Amino acid sequence: MGGFAQTRAAALGLAFAPAHLNGVVENLLALQAHVRNLAAQGPASTLDDAS
């Protein structure tokens, strides 16, 4: 997830310092669980679609 976060952030012009990596990853993991819940309801994107 760390690699995804850094690559995606750089692509969006949101590159961040290493000190934020753990916090961003922790929040992405929480989001990933909710994205999966949503995807289970029908066609939905996933975080992987963005990479």
Partner 1 sequence: MIGQDALAVAAAVRSGKVRAEHVVSQALAAIAARNPALNAFTLVLGEDALAAARALDQAVAAGRSVGPLAGAPFAVKNLFDIAGHATLAGARIRAAAAPAACDAALIRRLKRAGAILVGALNMDEFAYGFVTENAHYGTTRNPHDPSRIAGGSSGGSAAAVAAGLVPLSLGSDTNGSVRVPAALCGVYGLKPTAGRLPLEGMFPFVRTLDHAGLFARTAAELMLAYDACLVSDGRAEAVSPQIEALAARPLKVGVLGGWFAQGAASDVLAALETVAEALAARDRLALAGAEAARSAAFCMSAHEGGQLHRAELARQLDDFDPEVGDRLLAGALLPQAIHTAAGAYRERFRNEVAAVFDQVDLALAPVTPCSAPRIGQSTMLIDGREVSVRKNLGAYTQPLSFVGVPVLAAPVNRPGLAPIGVQLIAAPGREDLLFAAALRLERQGVVAAHAPGARAP
Q: Would you count residue 27 as binding partner 1 (CB under 8 A)?
A: yes
Q: How far is the CB of 46 from partner 1 (least distance, A)?
A: 8
Tokens of 6: 């850094």
Q: How far is the CB of 43 from partner 1 (least distance, A)?
A: 7
Q: What distances in angstroms separate CA 12 from CA 5, 15, 27, 40, one per listed residue?
A: 11, 8, 18, 27
Neighbours of 5 (CB within 10 A): 19
Contacts with partner 1 by CB under 8 A lie at 5, 8-9, 12-14, 16-17, 20, 23-28, 30-31, 33-35, 37-47, 49-50
